Amino acid sequence: MRRTNRQLKFMAKNVLRGNYTLPILANIIINVLSAAAGSMTSTLFPTTSGMSSVLSQLFSFIITVIFSLFTAGLIYMYLNISRRRPYSFSDLIYLFSNNPDRILIVGFVLALINAIISIPSVLANRFLYTDDVMNGDLTAALQYLYTTLLVLLVTLAVYTIVTLPLTFSYALLIDRPELTAKEAMKMSIHLMKGNYWRYLKLLISFFPLYVLSAFTCYIALLWVVPYQGITEIFLYRELAGDLDTDHFSANSPFSGQIPNPQEYNDYNSEA
């Protein structure tokens, strides 16, 4: 059954009612860890010299790949909430001990795509940050700010479009522990085929909430981010044929019962 964005959002609101606390705290923890990793990078590689810049980018790349395990853990929590299954903080680190290699491979692919697409942004930041900017020249500073912001926005848009086919790779790896990273990415591409614009419209529909959150000093984002995440999970479950039957539909290329957490543990204990 195909649902509208409004229906998917209503379902997300419904399961989140009374369940916002842990998702909010989980997102805060991930953002704090991400900020700490960024601060560590700046501390370890404080200069913008050639070698320091290369090492900084390499270190950031490795951190991004490792953080894919936290991203997948958050998706695991969202999946449990959407299915009204038990969930806890331990969901965030669940994939660290459950076939993490598959998650890391997908994380590596996404980080590599991001690194390649971000090259113009890195170059713009490097060559536009001139002595005039450092010395406080207002015109140079504004030109630097506008140009780097524009390049950053274009980079973000290109990354979103390029990685759209891989959107549900992590969710598929969680639901189907027998899949390899390559198989999960192929299945995600299949799921997203013909649904790119639908997914983009879903993302765009949250834009007003992000704008309005500015009037709360962005505190409202604490609720908006989990709300969006769960809504995307419901879209994934619908496309996978899981939403109406609590298992992949028989005519779906992903047919087969979705394992519950205990079955997932049993699978890994046998592996």
For the residues 254-266, what does the mean pLDDT come to?
42
The answer as to whether 222 is a domain residue is yes
Residues 79-126 pLDDT 10s: 999 999 999 999 999 999 999 999 999 999 999 999 999 888 877 777
Mean pLDDT score across all residues of the chain: 86
Q: pLDDT category, 133, cuts 50, 70, 90?
A: low
- Give the model's pLDDT for residue 139: 74
The answer as to whether 270 is a domain residue is no
Domain residue limits at 41: 5-265
The answer as to whether 271 is a domain residue is no
* pTM of this prediction exceeds 0.75: yes
Reference 203, options 170, 167, 230, 232; nearest CA is 232
The answer as to whether 18 is a domain residue is yes
The answer as to whether 234 is a domain residue is yes
Q: How many domains does the chain have?
A: 1
